[in-house]
A and B are shown apart, each in its own frame.
Chain A
Amino acid sequence: ETGVTQTPRHLVMGMTNKKSLKCEQHLGHNAMYWYKQSAKKPLELMFVYSLEERVENNSVPSRFSPECPNSSHLFLHLHTLQPEDSALYLCASSQDFPNEKLFFGSGTQLSVL
């Protein structure tokens, strides 16, 4: 596999569920990102990890919890989400941080019921 892979592609969850989004990059990059794209809105940066250390946390509610166990993997743990959290969640990586050239995965389309 090459590039940035995200699983699952689609996720439907209830407000009381706990789920996790997974991202894996096969590019040898040192930085990984979570972005959120809501309908008709710009991509919003949620978290950035560089060399497995969190370097940006963009005022994201605590019901979103990131984890970066190594430079190739990134998780977003979800719990007690709200319907307004329904969005496309995109993972990205870059060679280093900061770096404006990002490589995105295909995203997880999340629906919270």
Chain B
Amino acid sequence: DQQVKQNSPSLSVQEGRISILNCDYTNSMFDYFLWYKKYPAEGPTFLISISSIKDKNEDGRFTVFLNKSAKHLSLHIVPSQPGDSAVYFCAGTSGSRLTFGEGTQLTVNP
């Protein structure tokens, strides 16, 4: 049973436009959600997080939205830049263990 799903394996966006990456989860016990970014030949790096008691968290160009009733999480990047091209993983946690999605490859075209 995959508790975190990222249904889009890839997304292509024009530079300057908005990138929206989506994530669905099934575990209602998750109390914290995170996004990690991974460049080729590097490990994932933490990007942004949100507590389950909030519906929005913003950090510069990155905003994460949480819709608990729909069990849906999204990451908005505005404006998108070529350097944002990477694999983005969402993850949920209920205390001791992070459960990751499969990742979405974002490509931002100049």
Q: Residues of A with Cβ closer than 8 Å to B? A: 4, 6, 40-43, 45, 48, 55-56, 90, 92, 97-98, 100-107
| Contact (A106, B43) CB under 8 Å given A45-B98, A100-B34 | yes
* Contact B102–A42 (Cβ < 8 Å): yes
27 A-B pairs (CB sep. < 8 Å): A4-B43, A6-B43, A40-B102, A41-B102, A42-B4, A42-B99, A42-B100, A42-B101, A42-B102, A42-B103, A43-B89, A43-B98, A43-B100, A45-B98, A56-B97, A92-B43, A97-B96, A100-B49, A100-B93, A101-B34, A101-B46, A101-B49, A103-B46, A104-B43, A104-B45, A105-B43, A107-B43
Closest A residue to B97 using CB positions: A45
Q: How many A-B residue pairs have CB under 8 A?
A: 54
